[in-house]
Amino acid sequence: MTRASYRRYLSTLMLVLLSCACLVCAFVYIVDPYNLYGAVRRENFNAVKPGLSRYQSQIKHAHALRLQPSFIILGNSRAEMGFDPRAAAFGAMQGDGYNMGIPGTAMAMAISQFAQLTQAGIKPGTVIVGIEFIDFLKPAVAPPVRTEASSGHVPGFWRFDALFSLASVKDAVKTPFIQHDRAAFTIAPSGLNPALDYGAHAVRDGYYKVFKHRAQKSAARFVKMSKADFADGDFQAMHDFLVAMSATQADIKLVIYPYHAQMLTLFEGAGLWPLFEEWKQQVVLEVASVKKQYPSARISVTDFSGFGLYNCEPIPTQQQRHASTRWYWEAGHFKRALGDIVMQRVMTQKDEAPVDGQFGMLLTGATLAANRDRIAAERSACVAAQPEMFLFSQKLFARPLEDAPTDN
C-alpha cells in the first residue's frame, strides 16, 4: 500500500467513524429518551419515556429548569411514586408542578436540588417535602470510612454522556418498544414514576410475597440501627434547609409519609418506636425554631403515619394469590391513589379531623400528645382487625435476620 492510498484509507475510515458518531447522536437526539431536547414528540413513538436509572438528579434538574414549576415535590422513592403533581389537589394552583423525588436519597439530595433551583432563579411558591424517619437513623456500628476515587467527570459531562454513550443508545432503542407496555419502568413528564413495573411485579408474584419480601429486607436493616440517638448533623441540616426555603417566602409543607401499618410494626419490633416519637418531636422543634427566627415563614408538618383506616389496609394472604390492594404496593410504598388523598389533605390544611379519622394530623407542640393518643387508639383497632400482621412481625424478629441487601 502506497503512502497516498494509506492516507485515503485513513481519511475514509475517519469519515465513516465520524458519520457513525453523528448518526448515533442524531438517533438519541430525535428519540430523546430522557426528554431533554424536545425536537420530536410523537404518540406511539417516543411520548412515553423510560425511567431514569442514571443522572437522575441532573436530568430532573434540567426538566425543572425548562418547566419553571410553581410548586415542587421533594423526597425519595415514596414521593416519586406516590405524589402526583397533576393531582386534583393542585387544580387551583397557578402554573405547573414537578416531582423531583429520587429513589434511595436522603434529605441532602433535596437540599442540593432546592439550592440548585434557587441559584438558577427558580423560586417555587410551594415546596412539598417528604421527610423520612429512617434517613435520620445511624448504624449501631459505624461502617468503615470509604475513600471514593474521583469520577473524573467535568461539570456538564453528563450532557455529553446522555447524548453519546452506549447506555443512551440502549435507552433510545428501548423507547419505541415501551409506548404501550403496561409493565415498563417509565417516568411521566411531571417527574412522577407511575410504578407500572411495580404493578406488574405485584400481579406476577402476588401482594403477599411483595409485602413479605419488603418486610424482611426492612427488618434486616432496622436491627442494625442505633436505638439510642440519631445521625450527627441531620437536624441541623434540616434547620438550615428550612431557613433557606423560608428565605424564598415559599409555602413549605413537610409530610411524614403514610407508612403502612406493617412498617410501623417493624419499627416496634426493631426497638425504634421511641426514636420515631422523639424524631417527630424534634422535627416540630426545628420548625418552631425557624418560625421564631423568621416570623413570616410558612411551614407546616403533617403526620400521615399511624394505624388508621388507610394505613391498616389488609395484606392479601398467601392463598389470595390474585387479590390486590387499593392503597399500598407494600409497607414502604403507597400508591398514587393514597398519595392523591395525602396531597388533598396537605393542600387544604384543615385543622378539624377528616370524616375518616385524623389521617393527616397537623403537628405542632400543642398537638404532639394528641397525635400519640390518636396513633395508640388506631393501633388497638388495627390489632383487633389484623392480628396476623402484628404476629408476622413478632415472628420475624424472634429469629436471626439474614443479611439481605437493603434499599430505600
Which residues lie closer than 8 Å to 186 by C-beta, 6 or more apart? 48, 49, 50, 51, 178, 193, 194, 196
Q: 367 pLDDT exceeds 90?
A: yes
Which cell goes with 52? Answer: 431514569
Please answer whether residues 331 and 260 qualify as being in contact, where contact means their C-beta atoms are separated by less than 8 angstroms. Answer: yes
Residue matched to cell numbers 441532573: 58
Which cell goes with 377? Answer: 387508639
Amino acid in position 18: L
247-291 pLDDT, tens digit per residue, is 999 999 999 999 999 999 999 999 999 999 999 999 999 999 999
Cα separation, 283 vs 265, in Å, equals: 22
| The Cα angle at residue 233 between residues 244 and 111, in degrees rounded to 5 | 35
Q: Which residues pair with 124 in a beta bridge?
A: none
Residue 352's domain comprises 51-141+158-164+180-398
157-196 pLDDT, tens digit per residue, is 999 999 999 999 999 999 999 999 999 999 999 999 999 9
Q: 125 pLDDT exceeds 90?
A: yes
Q: 226 pLDDT exceeds 80?
A: yes
> Which pLDDT belongs to residue 402?
53
CA–chain centroid gap for 372, Å, is 26
19 located within any domain: no
Q: How confident is the model at residue 406 (pLDDT cuts 50, 70, 90)?
A: very low
Query: Any idea what DSSP says for residue 127?
Result: E
Which cell goes with 276? Answer: 420515631
35 located within any domain: no
Cα separation, 252 vs 74, in Å, equals: 11
- Write the CA distances from 221 to 109, 258, 268, 294, integer angstroms: 21, 20, 14, 38
Which residues lie closer than 8 Å to 89 by C-beta, 6 or more apart? 340, 343, 344, 346, 347, 348
Our count of domains for the chain comes to: 1
Residues of the chain above pLDDT 70, percent: 92
Cβ–Cβ contacts within 10 Å for residue 164, how many? 15
Mean pLDDT along residues 306-319: 95
3 located within any domain: no
Please answer whether residues 259 and 389 qualify as being in contact, where contact means their C-beta atoms are separated by less than 8 angstroms. Answer: no
Mean pLDDT along residues 394-402: 79
CA–chain centroid gap for 85, Å, is 13
Residues of the chain above pLDDT 90, percent: 80
Give the β-pairing of 298-303 and 71-74. unpaired
Ranges assigned E (strand) in 250-297: 251-256
26 located within any domain: no
> Which pLDDT belongs to residue 403?
46
Cα separation, 404 vs 396, in Å, equals: 13
Residue matched to cell numbers 397557578: 94
Which residues lie closer than 8 Å to 354 by C-beta, 6 or more apart? 345, 360
Cβ–Cβ contacts within 10 Å for residue 205, how many? 13
CA–chain centroid gap for 377, Å, is 29
Please answer whether residues 98 and 123 qualify as being in contact, where contact means their C-beta atoms are separated by less than 8 angstroms. Answer: no
314 located within any domain: yes
Instruction: Report the 3 state secondary structure along 134-194.
Output: HHHCCECCCCCCCCCCCCCCCCCHHHHHHHCCHHHHHHHHHHHHHCCCCCCCEECCCCCCC
Whole-number average pLDDT of the chain: 91
100 located within any domain: yes
- Write the CA distances from 226 to 144, 217, 402, integer angstroms: 16, 17, 18
Cβ–Cβ contacts within 10 Å for residue 19, how many? 10
Give the β-pairing of 126-131 and 251-256. parallel
9 located within any domain: no
- Write the CA distances from 39 to 25, 27, 36, 42, integer angstroms: 13, 11, 9, 10
326 located within any domain: yes
Q: Name which of 270, 282, 287, 303 is nearest 230 in CA terms.
A: 282
Q: 202 pLDDT exceeds 70?
A: yes
Q: Name which of 125, 75, 116 is nearest 246 in CA terms.
A: 125
Region of 73 (left: φ > 0; alpha: ψ -120 to 50; beta: rest) is beta
55-102 pLDDT, tens digit per residue, is 999 999 999 999 999 999 999 999 999 999 999 999 988 889 999 999
Least confident of 127-136, 145-154, 221-230: 145-154
- Higher-pLDDT residue of 408 and 361 is 361
